[in-house]
Structure 1
Amino acid sequence: MSTLARARCVFGAHPSAMDTVLAVVVLVCMVAGSFVDPHGPESVSWGLRTPDALSLALMTAGAAALAFRRRQPMAVLVVTGCVSVVESITGDPRAPVVMSAVIALYTVAASTDRPTTWRVGLLTMTVLTGAAMLAGPLPWYAQENLAVFAWTGIGATAGDAVRSRRAFVQAIRDRAEKAERTREEEARRRVAEERLRIARDLHDVVAHHIALVNVQAGVASHVMDKRPDQAKEALAHVREASRSALDELRATVGLLRQSGDPEAPTEPAPGLARLDELVATFHHAGLRVEVARTDQGTELPAAVDLAAYRIIQEALTNVQKHAGRQAKAEVSVVRVGPDIEVTVLDDGTADGEVPDGTTEGGGHGLLGMRERVTAVRGTLTTGPRYGGGFRVHAILPVKSRTDAAAQATEATGDPV
């Protein structure tokens, strides 16, 4: 680190010491300026003039006030301005007492706003220049009087420029900090959304397959002694359901692995293409399910396809858990204009129970459905049917917002 850089660090840490040193330097310059005769025999002569006691007192007062310029800039400007006016009227016109007022004006301009700088700067220039021109010993057009006007203007302009630069640098820093906070908040939001999505998938997988395992295990226990063949078939379904649960859990948890992990799953997420397989698992568990579809040939975004599949899976799981063995479910997937409608109906509940998540303290089935539908900007309605049973109805957009924007751009030829 250079000597200048070290000095800046020291003075930056101790601004009062810096102001004191500045006051001493200004006093030395004013006193030295009073001893100089620029019009001597040898162009510039030293020691030809001696300032009187009043001039020395005014110089000392003006320089001493600069030691407090950061704490009270306006008060220091008033003091140095008054000292300069008195010196302009009573003292040697070449005594540079106005130097302290120029520095005080610079400080005010650097620490306030532009309107204040204009008002205070014009007032200071007018008062000091007017006092020198109208009440001073020199003619009004003397160059010393014009120098007062010029130097006060330079002080105000320099202070305003420094303040503007500081404000510009601070604005850049604020924007950088805001951008960094925005990036961090966006990263946290994405992590929270991904955690919520994985939690929904885990809930759907576990709820569906464990419900099937529970039903088939109950059947096997019931018929084990009298119909061992049927019990073996039920146990086979239990084994198949547990294997499917493990596979889906492995695929879901595998998303948490690093991207370079060779064991990360590569199979696509389930969708409506696997609806028949899903319904077959419920058939094996003893639930009667009828399916009606008019969406053949419809290509859905991956998120919408997964949401439709999970909604049907969760709704049928709720029917299996709460509606009893004699329940019947109906599933319909219908393309209606720009949307696809998914509806799951059942014909009644056993023992007056209601589906998961509809009562206080219940599970998270319906909540997970609603979150999935909201994530793809769809709508979901659920509730009991007139005469018994329950209804789940979801309206999902066939095209995502990104796809719609891309098609609009292609149609208009005007990128947004």
Structure 2
Amino acid sequence: MNASDAPTVIDGIEWVRPRPARADYRNDLVLALVLAAATAASVVLYRITGWGADAPWWGSVIWVAAMNLPLAARRRWPEIVALVASVAFILGGMAEVGEALFSNIALFIAIYTVGAWGRNRLRANIVRGVIVAGMFTWLFWGLIVGSIAPDQLPEMSREGVLSPYVAFGLINVLTNLLYFGGAWYFGDSAYRSARSRVELEQRTAELAAERERTRVQAVAIERLRIARELHDVVAHHVSVIGVQAGAARRVLAKRPDAAAAALSAIESSAREAVDELHGLLGTLRGTDADGPPSASLDGLADEPAQTSTSTRGLDRIDELVAESTAAGLPTTLAVVGEPGNASPVIGLSAYRIAQEALTNVRKHGGAGATADVRVRWSDAAVELEVANTGAAPSPARADADGGTAGLGQLGMRERVAAVGGTIELGPRARGGYLVRATFPLRRGEAVRP
């Protein structure tokens, strides 16, 4: 068996060519009737010339029907049709019906169909082998009988190694080799083409399914990113507003100026939160007003600069420090080394991690807590460190706050992992809590903790 004839497994099942459609059966019936009419006309013409005139008319009619009409079922039972056509062809030759044109076409189609539509390849090969062997046996028998019967083709000499009769026999053998070889080859080619089409359709369906899975995954990743952004924005600004509102309430009667300053900070923080939320909503709606909202989600993970929050980076951490100090948490900032070229994704991730860390200090650090923010630059990486002197958030306190501390730390880890960095989270030995994130500046370079 050739490699091209090897069984094709599709969806775990060996592929078998399906039955033809109703239209195929109608076409085969038309073909059989046309060939029967053409063969009948050819028989009449041959009889007029004197070839096959000795055969009875009724015998010719039966032979024409047996030779052509079974072709109407050639794609339903290809092996049976080919055997019937072969037997009819041999009987017609032996009875000297006298037709050698359309009968050869009908036999060729029958053998071709076995290769093209045989659902069992072993049976198809056996049937074709039997037919070809029988035809060549008949051919060689006729040539041998003719070589010893001078009354057959008396004008051809039998003398010599390559006599005219031998040349005639070689021409017949070569013609039959081309005839049956062509029917066999083109039948197998048609079968392989049908199988290749099915394989191509299967691969196309698999690629379409993979594209759909990728699209769904991209949407899920983008939704997760937006959820992280919402958490960071809301948690930060709400905590600032809460602290400032408490301060304003305590000094409202005795120190109106301080209360006004706190209310001003609340207003500023609220406006900033609204601006960032507008940016996130714009991301959700997409940039194309004419398209559906979901149409823009597929590519958002690769285009963080489209959102308004992407303008926040390492260069704006000083604003976070000032805002944290104004909200009642004394915070210092130290930058070590020469600032390098950090990508917008790294800048935004570092900004959000610092924002979340300071928010957690305000929520869980307690009274008297302070925070230190350090940014260390090197040739290969940038390190962000946020340390505080307050109390570390306990699991019970995080649960009491609705689990925001847990979600915030999860968001930090996801942001760092997305750019190939590392992060350390945990209590310090001398008290307080430490958040240290390291981001690689060179793409694809791993960061050692």
What TM-score comes out, normalization by structure 1 length?
0.75
**Match for 1:26: what amino acid?**
L
1:70–1:14 Cα change, 3 Å = same
Q: Does 1:330 align with 2:366?
A: no
Deviation readout 1:79-117 (Å, 9 max, x if unpaired): 3334444545x4327445554432122112223599867
**Match for 2:263: what amino acid?**
L
- Structure-1 residue corresponding to 2:116: 110
Maintained 8 Å contact 1:357/1:364: no
**Match for 1:131: what amino acid?**
W
Maintained 8 Å contact 1:383/1:391: yes
Q: Does 1:196 align with 2:262?
A: no
The CA deviation at 1:57 is: 4.0
Deviation readout 1:102-160 (Å, 9 max, x if unpaired): 21221122235998677765553333222233268974855777655443333223334
Classify the secondary structure of the residue corresponding to 1:37.
Answer: helix
Maintained 8 Å contact 1:357/1:365: no
The CA deviation at 1:270 is: 0.4
Q: Does 1:92 align with 2:122?
A: no
1:103–1:350 Cα change, 3 Å = closer
The CA deviation at 1:23 is: 2.2
Aligned partner of 1:378 among 406, 418, 421: 421
The CA deviation at 1:236 is: 2.2
**Match for 2:65: what amino acid?**
T
**Match for 2:439: what amino acid?**
L
CA distance in 1, matches of 2:112, 2:282: 65
Alignment of 1:300-311 (within 5 A): 300-311=342-353
- Structure-2 residue corresponding to 1:211: 239
**Match for 1:341: what amino acid?**
E
- Structure-1 residue corresponding to 2:187: 159
* Bigger mean CA deviation after superposition, 112-121 or 160-169: 112-121
1:174–1:138 Cα change, 3 Å = farther
Structure 2, unpaired ranges of 5+: 1-19, 148-167, 290-305
- Structure-1 residue corresponding to 2:387: 345
* Bigger mean CA deviation after superposition, 347-356 or 325-334: 347-356
- Structure-2 residue corresponding to 1:66: 71
CA distance in 2, matches of 1:311, 1:200: 11
- Structure-2 residue corresponding to 1:294: 336
The CA deviation at 1:199 is: 2.7
CA distance in 1, matches of 2:53, 2:62: 20
* Bigger mean CA deviation after superposition, 302-311 or 350-359: 350-359
Deviation readout 1:335-390 (Å, 9 max, x if unpaired): 35522222323334378456858999556312222222222222334344456543
Q: Does 1:16 align with 2:25?
A: yes
Number of aligned residues = 385
1:352–1:14 Cα change, 3 Å = closer
Maintained 8 Å contact 2:340/2:379: no
Aligned partner of 2:442 among 396, 399, 410: 399
Aligned partner of 1:101 among 101, 107, 110: 107
Share of identical aligned residues, percent?
Answer: 33
Alignment of 1:27-66 (within 5 A): 27-37=36-46, 48=53, 50-51=55-56, 56-66=61-71
1:394–1:60 Cα change, 3 Å = same
What TM-score comes out, normalization by structure 2 length?
0.70
Structure 1, unpaired ranges of 5+: 1-10, 405-416
* Bigger mean CA deviation after superposition, 311-320 or 377-386: 377-386
- Structure-2 residue corresponding to 1:410: none
Maintained 8 Å contact 2:240/2:269: yes
* Bigger mean CA deviation after superposition, 274-283 or 143-152: 143-152
**Match for 1:78: what amino acid?**
L
Alignment of 1:186-335 (within 5 A): 186-256=214-284, 259=287, 269-335=311-377
CA distance in 2, matches of 1:74, 1:324: 90
* Bigger mean CA deviation after superposition, 139-148 or 323-332: 139-148
1:352–1:311 Cα change, 3 Å = closer
